[in-house]
Amino acid sequence: MTQISPPPPPEQEDISSSSTSLSTLSASHPSPSSSLSASFTQRISSTLPKKLSQFLAQSLTNPSPPQSRFNDTPPHSSTSSVASEPLISHKSPFASPIFIPASGAPGFRDDRNWDKGFDFPPTQKVGQPVMLHGRNDTTRPVLPADLVEAIRLHLPPLFRLSRSWTLLYSLDQHGISIGTFYSRLAKHEGGCLLAICDANDGRFGVWVGDGIRRSHGESYYGSGESFLWKNQNGLQVFKWTGKNDYVALCEQDYISFGGGDGKYGLFLDSAFYDGSSASCATFDNEVLCSNLAGSHSDEKKGTVRFECLGLEAWGISR
């Protein structure tokens, strides 16, 4: 009987020699992915800028591990100097504007001391002389030319620029009628300057920027541009004080301007003959009419009465 011997065991391969052969094989036969990366790097190097091609080549040959979207750095840990620099070095259009407080503008500081445009030096002239229209040559003027230029300096700026004043009503030319007075003044749009001459040749009156009209039960009207004036040893102007709004009250039986404490700054009846004047809170004015020895006065109220000999109402447009 023939004895069958087992096959000899396979020879043990050297692990070190196998690894060496594997490395040699991989070097001589590169993988498809590495060859693709090399060829792609060569192609982009010739078409892209130098810095960008270097960055892409470095990313393909030495890929960095994926980073988390969240910052794992503790909130108080120290960072590099590069990370501490601001990401945007230029001025951002989305940044909050720097607030610069206004200075010198009306309403912010000393708003009652800024120039409102009313005051001019007494010797300063405004443009060319005013031309007076509508007064006949035979009419005795209540408002002379020199007084016109003096009053003009105290008008509001837009009215001051007007070179033409129109006679709306004259006691000599249009007769004694308060109805005619109201109807003629109602046709004018703009301010009205009223001038009165009393029996002692005193000249005084009122300026109403809204015009003079019949109140029709609406009580007082008028704006803060209004003022009383008188020409006694030079022109004196009494502007609105702001203590009340009693600028003008004109009814069918009288016209009046300024008031308070039962007194009128200027009052004239419907016949345009009997009038009176007193100091009032609206304008803080002096008595406007000539306060001579023969004048009738009410000492309790400080009211001085006068007789009106001449009256003119001048319309002034902006």
Going along the chain, which residue ranges are E strands? Answer: 131-133, 164-170, 191-198, 203-208, 227-231, 235-239, 248-250, 254-260, 263-269, 274-277, 297-298, 303-316
Quote the mean pLDDT of the chain: 76
- Which range in 14-23, 46-55, 127-136, 267-276 is most confidently predicted, on average pLDDT? 267-276
Residue 123 domain-assigned (yes or no): no
| Tally of domains within the chain | 1
pLDDT tens figures, 96-110: 666 555 554 444 444
Residue 269 predicted with pLDDT over 60: yes
Structural domain span for residue 218: 131-316
Rounded Cα distance between 45 and 121, Å, is 82
Residue 309 domain-assigned (yes or no): yes
Residue 290 domain-assigned (yes or no): yes
* C-alpha triplet 247, 250, 254: angle, nearest 5°: 125
Residue 269 domain-assigned (yes or no): yes
The DSSP secondary-structure symbol of 246 reads: -
Residue 272 domain-assigned (yes or no): yes
Residue 90 domain-assigned (yes or no): no
Which pTM does this prediction carry? 0.61
Buried b (16+ CB within 10 A) or exposed e, 77-102: eeeeeeeeeeeeeeeeeeeeeeeeee
Residue 207 domain-assigned (yes or no): yes
Q: Between 57 and 186, where is the model more confident?
A: 186
What pLDDT, on the 0 to 100 scale, is given for residue 281?
A: 94
Residue 283 domain-assigned (yes or no): yes
Q: Between 240 and 33, where is the model more confident?
A: 240
Residue 22 predicted with pLDDT over 50: no
